[in-house]
Structure 1
Amino acid sequence: MYFEFGAGSFAGKQVLDATFKAYETWSFNCTPYWVDLERTDNISEGTRWPGPAQLDQMGDRYVSAGRGDNCSPEQPNAWVEFNDNPAEGDENLTSTVRALADGKISRLTLMLRAKDESEPRAWKRFDSNAELKVWYVHQPGVPASVGVVPGTGTAAYCRSSSEPLTVTVKKPTVYATVQTKVEAHEGDEEGSLQAEYVMQRSSNDMTSGSWSQVWSDYKPDSGWVADGTPQAAQTDERAEGGLYRYRARTQSHWSYNGKSGDLFSPYSSWCYLRIDTTAPKAPVVVSNFPYTECLTNDCVAHGGPSQGGIFTFKPNPADVDIQAYRWRLLTSNAGATYVVNAAARNKPVVVSGLKPGLPGTVTLSVEASDLVKDKEGRVRWGPAENFTFKVGLPAEASGRWRFEDMVPGSGTMKAADTGTDGVRLDANLVGAAGTGGSTRARRGAGDYSLRLNDDTSDPASQVGHAATSAPAVNTVDSFTVSAWVYLTDASENRAVLAAPGANSSAFTLYYSAAYKKWIFNRTDKDVATPAYIRSVADAESPPLKVWTHLAGVFDTNEPGKGDDTIQLFVNGRPQGDPVKLAEKATSYEPWQSTRGMQFGRSLKGTAGQEYFFGLLDEVAVFQDARSPEQIREENQLLKDGVPSNELVAHWDPTISAAGGTKVAESPEDPDNAASTTFPYSRGPLALSGTGAALTGADATSLVLNGTSGYASINGPVIDESGSFTVSARVRLNKTLLASKAPGYRALVAAQTIPGGKESSWSLWVEKVAEGAYLWKFGRTAVDANGTVIDTALAPAQEPVGDHEWDTWVDVTGVFDGTKDFTHSDGTQQLGVAQLYVGQFLQVGEEDPGLAHAQQGSGALSVGRGASNGTLGHYLPGDLAKVRVWAGAMTFDQVSSQIAQPSA
């Protein structure tokens, strides 16, 4: 009998003990015989007799039950329990269940069998109601809110080595909020935790020096606190001018069955600080308009995310030589800092046009400087003054078309406007063959998009589009347009959205075949031959058949037209600087579109042109200039506060023909159970000529020899300047990997970069030392010559464990293009790479940020790839699933959509 378990509620906990019990209902006779509990490989829909391979013995029992009064004494039905016997070193139930809780294995499959299957008298029957009882405690998580108080206040900050925090007291206070690895649910025990702190000093008080520990402490001084409790500690006296760094970790204490112990989380990142008691003091911050400072129990919202505030920065009364101020918004794009110089020493400055970016409570952090330089030649900035204010809610979309009503085959020819501000304007669909609804939609299963002109058999019918009956946005005032696009043909200009007048369009969001780039433009006037003013994408030749988010912003920047700007955003990122329209065309006048907004084409007079080929989804217009933060939020496609994702590629060896030469696409279509093809129709992965086979003892998988075997297809399948998720189900071959030299990278899945010597993204296992292996996910960017200019790396916290060998493990890489990351050198990164092993996010100390956008092309491979200038890096092991999603998954989404469900 087989029993399969998921981690369930003990996922992420530290397992102390485990017992498996099964209910025996029949024995061949009254004589006890040995029954074994074995761990096997997992069961799948493709499992065949004689079943999955046996991996390890969990325990054995010498029993007989279920004979009732046929025996003397009586042998009724009975529970048979298996628990590790310390006297028998081959019983590994607790350690195996611990690996399940740690996410090192996706499922635990247990088999009951007679120790001697050839002895009929040893045969038994068990009921299907087996239980796995687990005793566990909370594992500690990396502390949150780690930082240092720069003076005598309470706000704590963490700064990189490129700009250490200036601390004006010799006994600074450090903070850290202890937490468990997995957040406790309401009513659950919240752990017994403690914060541990470590501080080091540079040998030469410069970042180039060596570091040695000078102070450590823990809080609370005695006893323990629960998950989410902030803890503060004051250091002993530090040296004037000294350069220090500080970090913290969480300790979790447990006691069970007369024993006790402690667990420790990884350390947080380092926070750098310099002691300088002569540095400027915190300045004075005054709001002039429209925002007001939040007071205790009194925080009134004013303005909106796109409304610029006016603030005055003044020197602290104790300072006499302030020459500059530096400010940043801590709750919005925290890495962006701005410096403004005073007109004269110790004079205030007025900063206008400070736009908060997002609604809600916002903190403006301002520092003052006397322009004195520290030991390393950097300008010193004093402690910050924090001014907290509340920003009102923005206007809702004045038009939004989700195309949820475009059900394929329904004959629907109208897309409802689901916006909430202004007048509703449905989009009326016009088209013939190749135009309608599609299940390929950006919000995932159950969603639909607008399909335009994908029937290439009759060019005359490729005029599909949609339009509103009246203008959808006032193009004289500030506005924003946004859409998700899936372009399938780039041979000509392809219009996404356009706002026509009598002769030309006030704006067009489109792909330009001449520039080979995405463009957002405005025209100077509504005339037959207007001047075109363009905001152009950074990257040339965007990939086809991928989901890309586009947004165009027109900002009037009151009061005059001379400051009007346009700017294109691709996947939530601004493309270049805002373009001043009057500087590009002196004839520019802001003018109002007078006809219905066009979806998938533009108009030249009354003639349609620039028809879009592909899919449109999630179109929205706003009657204001959305901030970069709001556009990034729009890019996430939040649904009930959770980002949306769409499965865009899925290859499954378990449903492929055994002995065949291709790994089949999954036929799964969530909206059409009868579908026999994957909606995106990527095609199968082709096996290499040698070293790869679709085979398996109990179920079909892609078996790779580690020297020549792989499978591939022409990619890419995602726009890699945006967010995406890639996952593979892998079974490593320990014997073959052991023969590789230290430093060997075995690539699970990878997308090559043009030139074929690097991968734009890859999942791999690396032999970091003899006998030690580490899962990793990374990204690489190259320059025009193919030279590596940037990498982002997310490694596993711990090496591959004993229980991860020769069984299936889900490994997932997530690239979140909406997240900022500040590198240790102070540079701002484009997005963040994350690695999940099983359902658990791995926390490491490598640089996960990518400062340069990189798009892969060419071969998308499983089992090999390009790295460190060479193609190869073959995987010794098996693959069962390879999947790619548009969108960055959250922890909960990885657990529910990728990691094996609990049984």
Structure 2
Amino acid sequence: MAAAALTLPATTAYATSTGPDGPPSEHASDRAGAAVAQGAEEADNTAPLFPRVTLAAPYTDCLTNDCRAAGGPGVAAKFTFAPNEADTDIVSYRYHLSSDPTWSSVTGTTATVTRTPQRSGFYRLEVQAVDKIGRAGASTELNFKVAAGEAAIGRWHFDEASGAALDSGTEAGTARHHATLAGGATRDDRGRRGVRTHDSEGAPLPSPATDRGLTLDGSSGYATTNGPVVDTRESYTLSAWVHPDTLGGTDRTVLAQDGGFRLSYDAAQGTWTLRPSLPAGVGHRTLMAEQPATPKVWTHLTAVYDAPADETRLYVNGRLQATGTAPGTGAADGPLQFGRAPSDGSPTEYTDYFDGSIDEVAVWQRALTDTEIADEARLILNGGHNAVELVADWSADGATGTTLTDTTSGYDARLTLSGGATLDGETLVLDGVDGAATADGPLVDGTGSFTVSTEVTLDGASVSTWDVGRIGQVVSRHAADGSAWGLWYEAAGMETVLDPDTFEEKLVPVGLWRFGRLNADGTYTAVDSDEVARTDEPVRLTGVYDAQDGTIELYIGDTGNGSALPVTNAPGLGEFTVGATTDGDTRTQHLPARIKDIRVWAGAVASSQQISEVTGD
């Protein structure tokens, strides 16, 4: 296909087109306006005119009634910039693609640049010529549409009531590869998509649907297809959600195809690995994730083989962890294994059985882009809902004693009370001195998306004696680097208000709710509540960490407070603490409050509507 050339006449008028969410209203060559006559004689005394922009195949410039999708994610778009015919002193260009965060520059009277779209959809390129005295001129805009990449050739939800796990891959013309469960392999209600209330189009379901997942016993359980799914001689991508019940000193395989690859946990390294199977005589080249693997949490794994680049890539929770070069393998004629791997040197013996849950497995016969991988890790159900799986749910209703048991989520997490923490049959009561409740483990992967919510009634009399800046933790999780994420209250002083009952002035404590990351040195990155924290009445607090955007949000009730704030989260195996935070063997920042319930989800809720649905408020 020939390149699509765009030449604009000299003009000082310019009509912009619509953005990347829709096609332009007119072809770029129709935007000249009526000022052509002043072009050539004024060119030396004015800023540069519209540059000429050429878009190379396979993409074409959108016309008013013709905006054809071409290429795809990962398929480069090539642009050539040239001066307007009336300009003679152009030395460089400024340009901005709608998917880029900032403008870029390139030198030369003419110049060629390449950009690689990460997603399908509409894109807009804006280009300005720059003359020798540094003046940037009028903008030429060009719109083009990127086609969707090839869909998954295999996808398994493991949500059937019984029988084989059905392959719901959608790529046209591909065979279905259903997977047979065997040994200690079952399905349970610990599916990563959680409880779904809406379909893929956003319409409410007749009744909530609880997702199911594949559960393996670590000794004999697995699932397998009848034959190979991926052609390992070509580019491919593997994706899976995993929730290991145990890791420790035993290797655990997530996905493997004999003669092709093994995506697994390496006990010696303590992390996730990708090992391509290589021809005889060639040593194994293993990619190892930078961060350690965490047991008892949901983690998203992606492995990519990029054949043209001779490169393998390993991602954890949608973020690149390791890159390496690897030669292509021969045709892998073994079936796709879920939860086990063939023993080295024996195609009939298997090892490294996975202990825990595997869910939402997908494979593509292409290398996904980084952005597509991040989208897959986000697990979007529809425009207003992301998949969130409840991994802890503690209600104090009817509870007494020193242990609060989660009987709802299916993950059997337990809170153990200590110090001045008690249960009164309705709430968890914290004295603000040494009262706390703790659960083993972090509950969620610190580098993955999560949501935490609780209803808390702050003791106004107790916090009225606090110094400015004192912190009381509602919930927290200590990280490996000494920081902690959590919801907390911070005192800001006292203020005089009029008592509506007595019409007399009184002093009341003033403070803020915060959600974020508290660093080991006392600094923090947090979203603040818009209004001062209310005392002596219940308040619903919800914190959301979106690992793909790298942002945190705070909701009071179902209302977002402040703006989403960038933050870098950290992995960690520290305990989950209610009413305090843990620093080594010491608990600090105790909170005087009554807490009615505490819930934690793997995944970031997508909207205030979804918060109302999952919390029931």
TM-score, L = length of structure 2: 0.81
CA distances 1:564-596 after superposition (whole Å, capped 9, x unpaired): 2111111111224x4332xxxxxx344221111
Distance in structure 1 (CA, Å) of the matches to 2:88 and 2:386: 47
Secondary structure of the residue aligned to 1:423 is coil
Distance in structure 1 (CA, Å) of the matches to 2:575 and 2:182: 38
Shift of 1:469: 0.8
Secondary structure of the residue aligned to 1:425 is coil
Shift of 1:313: 3.2
Distance in structure 2 (CA, Å) of the matches to 1:493 and 1:598: 15
Distance in structure 2 (CA, Å) of the matches to 1:393 and 1:404: 27
Distance in structure 2 (CA, Å) of the matches to 1:473 and 1:621: 7
CA distances 1:246-290 after superposition (whole Å, capped 9, x unpaired): xxxxxxxxxxxxxxxxxxxxxxxxxxxxxxx99877754321111
Shift of 1:838: 0.2
Whether contact under 8 Å (2:232, 2:328) holds in the other structure is no
The counterpart of 1:768, out of the listed 471, 492, 508, is 492
- Aligned match of 2:202: none
CA distances 1:342-366 after superposition (whole Å, capped 9, x unpaired): 4xx4231242xx3312122123455
Distance in structure 2 (CA, Å) of the matches to 1:313 and 1:524: 45
Distance in structure 2 (CA, Å) of the matches to 1:833 and 1:615: 27
The counterpart of 1:291, out of the listed 53, 56, 59, is 59
Distance in structure 2 (CA, Å) of the matches to 1:404 and 1:551: 21
Secondary structure of the residue aligned to 1:655 is coil
CA 153–817 in structure 1, closer or farther in 2 if over 3 Å, else same: farther
- Are 1:418 and 2:168 matched, yes or no? yes
- Aligned match of 2:466: 740
- Aligned match of 1:450: 214
- Aligned match of 1:597: 336
Distance in structure 2 (CA, Å) of the matches to 1:279 and 1:524: 59
CA distances 1:337-387 after superposition (whole Å, capped 9, x unpaired): 696754xx4231242xx33121221234556668999xxxxxx98886543
Shift of 1:758: 3.2
- In structure 2, give the amino acid aligned to 1:793: A
**Bigger Rg, which one:** 1
- Are 1:363 and 2:363 matched, yes or no? no
Distance in structure 1 (CA, Å) of the matches to 2:166 and 2:589: 51
Whether contact under 8 Å (2:89, 2:132) holds in the other structure is no
CA 316–767 in structure 1, closer or farther in 2 if over 3 Å, else same: farther
CA 384–810 in structure 1, closer or farther in 2 if over 3 Å, else same: farther
CA 709–358 in structure 1, closer or farther in 2 if over 3 Å, else same: same
- In structure 2, give the amino acid aligned to 1:499: Q
CA 420–369 in structure 1, closer or farther in 2 if over 3 Å, else same: same
- In structure 1, give the amino acid aligned to 2:510: A
Secondary structure of the residue aligned to 1:735 is helix
- Aligned match of 1:679: 410
- In structure 1, give the amino acid aligned to 2:254: V
- Aligned match of 1:534: 286
The counterpart of 2:593, out of the listed 863, 869, 877, is 877
Shift of 1:753: 2.1
Secondary structure of the residue aligned to 1:289 is coil
Whether contact under 8 Å (1:810, 1:899) holds in the other structure is no
- Aligned match of 1:580: 325
1:691-840 map, 5 Å:
691-695=420-424, 700-754=426-480, 758-759=483-484, 761-770=485-494, 771-780=509-518, 791-800=524-533, 804-819=534-549, 831-840=550-559
Shift of 1:291: 1.2
- Aligned match of 2:34: none
Distance in structure 2 (CA, Å) of the matches to 1:156 and 1:745: 48
1:109-188 map, 5 Å:
none
Gaps spanning 5+ residues in structure 2: where? 1-12, 20-44, 196-209, 495-508
CA 533–811 in structure 1, closer or farther in 2 if over 3 Å, else same: same
- In structure 1, give the amino acid aligned to 2:597: K
Whether contact under 8 Å (2:515, 2:553) holds in the other structure is yes
The counterpart of 1:475, out of the listed 227, 232, 254, is 232
Shift of 1:300: 1.6
- Compare relative contact order (CA 8 Å, sep 6+) and give the higher one, 1 or 2: 2
- Aligned match of 1:897: 614
- Aligned match of 1:313: 81
CA 315–489 in structure 1, closer or farther in 2 if over 3 Å, else same: farther
1:420-569 map, 5 Å:
420-421=170-171, 422-432=174-184, 435-445=185-195, 446-454=210-218, 462-490=219-247, 491-501=249-259, 506-525=260-279, 527=280, 530-539=282-291, 541-557=292-308, 563-569=309-315
Shift of 1:315: 4.8
Whether contact under 8 Å (2:95, 2:104) holds in the other structure is yes
1:203-352 map, 5 Å:
284-315=52-83, 318=87, 320-323=89-92, 327=96, 329-331=97-99, 334-335=100-101, 341-342=106-107, 345-351=108-114
CA 480–754 in structure 1, closer or farther in 2 if over 3 Å, else same: closer
Identity %: 34
Whether contact under 8 Å (1:325, 1:368) holds in the other structure is yes
The counterpart of 1:650, out of the listed 393, 398, 403, is 393
Distance in structure 2 (CA, Å) of the matches to 1:555 and 1:288: 24
1:4-19 map, 5 Å:
none
CA 592–791 in structure 1, closer or farther in 2 if over 3 Å, else same: farther
What number of residue pairs does the alignment pair up? 543
Secondary structure of the residue aligned to 2:440 is strand
Shift of 1:319: 7.1
Distance in structure 2 (CA, Å) of the matches to 1:744 and 1:731: 18
Shift of 1:764: 1.1
Secondary structure of the residue aligned to 1:629 is helix
CA RMSD, 1 decimal: 3.0
CA distances 1:513-554 after superposition (whole Å, capped 9, x unpaired): 2222212232332x3x54223333221x22101111111111
Distance in structure 2 (CA, Å) of the matches to 1:626 and 1:510: 20
- In structure 2, give the amino acid aligned to 1:580: T
